[in-house]
Structure 1
Amino acid sequence: MDDLHAINEALNRKAGRKLIPSIGVSLSLVTIVWASLAFRREVFVVLVVVAVILGIREIVRAFSLVKTFISEPALVIASLILVVATWRGGVAGLAVATAMSLPILLVDLLRKGPNGFVKSATATSLVLIYLPFLAGFLLLLARPDDGLSRVMTFVILVSCNDTFGYLVGVLFGKHPLAPTISPKKSWEGFAGSILFTIAGGALSFHYLLHLHWWIGAVLGLMVVFTATSGDLIESAMKRDLSLKDMGSILPGHGGILDRLDSVLLTAPALWLALEIVRRYL
């Protein structure tokens, strides 16, 4: 038992976070997502809203450390509008709601005066696009009749990328992928992500979406790049803000944004890919 504990501690040190709680949280989140879509899809909408609001709270707190003001209430209201518009109007509703929300948020910042306006306006625009807009594509994946299969395929692809990249990196990682941005990421872990996400894509597309396995393999490769890019973008934000994690709400992960990093960039890419497949293949 002591040997297992020592091995676990060694893995935790190398990975930079606790392995067992991380796996437990990941499995719990997957179960919650599946249950929400399997029994009533509106519950999934509520989950997305909660995740976005918690993410906004984290990023507002993070930007406050560098004296950049972002209006949390205004962004929460805008997020709720985007969610409703997306769920009821699809991609057109998401686009129109985003286009309307951005100028309103900028006008709202005028109440603070000109000092720091450019910083606040830039940060506010970033948060609007990064969180509620990109998260809106999760809702677009869930809207069709086969929304459960689409979202679970998405979950499988992102989980394969994150989990096996993490495990292979911890066990075999020696060559840093982006040492100045995310020192724990390695080329070996990246190779593990490619291998297992391609396999996960082929299997999920065949058995869940009933599409050609090779389409899933190709899109699995795409997800490796979008998910890894999302992870690196969030890591760059944290390093610029001198933070280890965006929060502490999820044991073994950190904050909500630390869990959403690979999700946010992958959702629009997979939604677009599935739309192209549906129309032309």
Structure 2
Amino acid sequence: MRIRAITALFFVLVVLGSILWSVYLFTIFFIMLSTYCLQEFYRIVADETGKPNRWVGILLGVLAFGLYAAHYLAGLSMAYLLLTAPLIANVFIVSLYQKRAKPFADIAYTLLGVVYIVLPFVSFYTLGFTATEAYDYRLPLGFMLILWGNDTGAYLVGRYFGKHLLFERISPKKTWEGLAGGVGLALFTSLVMANYFTLLPTWQWVGVALIISIFGTYGDLVESMLKRSQQVKDSGSVLPGHGGLLDRFDGLLLAAPAVLAFLKIVL
């Protein structure tokens, strides 16, 4: 438990530092984070039925994220994202030479990793430029604090008061009581955010909290479904006591695109 607590504190400080320090550190850190999560995903799904083209997929993800970030940092045209087209084509071409029984399973796993991992991190990154033209740390910071509040509330309430299982087939430890605790603490965190970060009115912060609670929970369940289908306990071991980075950011994968869509509509 002590190792788990120390790891969690260090992890939180690193993430907060990357968001608060500068836009360039924010960019570099989350490109690296998405890349590491992507390689964890590829490691999990690789088996006899399909082996993703790991290096092409990682290069595609880094290039796409980097070009997208350059749009905000240097005014690069979004048209430059078309430079990823040769890499996408290469995913298909390489499979011609690998002589595997199910090449399209390899192709599907490779491209799915970019969609499932990189695009959500790009959505989260975009939050830093959603409310203002220049980088503003408040939305990414608020998102992470609400997400952590949801996870903490769900864990504590579920551990001490959980009785009714939420989704036993996928996650035998998650309960309805834990879900309620997560929503409650997420909403409380959003009200605190609304008091200090007035770039969004209170009702929008509350909407963000509800979206994070719902889609964050589903994101956790989806990653659990992935690991259970591949008979893997953790996505990795880079965080002692916590598993892999993908285990720590599974809630973000579905929540970030949903929050971005909500804010793009209401702002």
> TM-score, structure 2 length as denominator?
0.88
In structure 2, the partner of 1:125 is 111
In structure 1, the partner of 2:225 is 236
Q: Does 1:26 align with 2:3?
A: no
Note the C-alpha offset of 1:79.
1.3
Q: Deviations over 1:28-66 (max 9, x none)?
A: 233222222332221122211222222222222222344
In structure 2, the partner of 1:81 is 63
Return 20-29 or 267-276, whichever deviates more: 20-29
In structure 1, the partner of 2:162 is 173
- Which amino acid in the other structure matches residue 119 of structure 1? A
In structure 1, the partner of 2:143 is 154
- Which amino acid in the other structure matches residue 262 of structure 1? G
Counterpart Cα distance in 2 of 1:93 and 1:244:
41
- Which amino acid in the other structure matches residue 122 of structure 1? A
Q: Does 1:39 align with 2:21?
A: yes
Counterpart Cα distance in 2 of 1:97 and 1:106:
16
In structure 1, the partner of 2:127 is 141
Q: Does 1:206 align with 2:195?
A: yes
Q: Deviations over 1:233-256 (max 9, x none)?
A: 000000100111111111222111
Counterpart Cα distance in 2 of 1:211 and 1:20:
37
Structure 1's consecutive aligned runs of 4 or more residues displaced over 6 angstroms after TM superposition are 97-100
In the alignment of these two chains, the number of paired residues is 260
5+ residue gaps, structure 2: none
Q: Deviations over 1:54-101 (max 9, x none)?
A: 222222222234452112211121111111121123695697567665
Tell me if structure 1 keeps the 8 A contact 2:236–2:243.
yes
Q: Secondary structure at the match of 2:113?
A: helix
Note the C-alpha offset of 1:21.
3.8
Q: Secondary structure at the match of 2:249?
A: helix
Give the share of equivalent positions with the same residue, in percent.
27
Q: Does 1:254 align with 2:254?
A: no
Q: Does 1:113 align with 2:113?
A: no
Q: Deviations over 1:230-281 (max 9, x none)?
A: 0000000001001111111112221111011001111112222222232xxx
Indicate how the Cα distance of structure 1 residues 273 and 77 shifts in structure 2: closer, same or farther if over 3 A, else same.
same
- Which amino acid in the other structure matches residue 122 of structure 2? G
Counterpart Cα distance in 1 of 2:111 and 2:127:
24
Note the C-alpha offset of 1:105.
2.0
Match for residue 226 of structure 1 among 215, 219, 227: 215
> TM-score, structure 1 length as denominator?
0.84
Note the C-alpha offset of 1:179.
0.4
Counterpart Cα distance in 2 of 1:192 and 1:138:
24
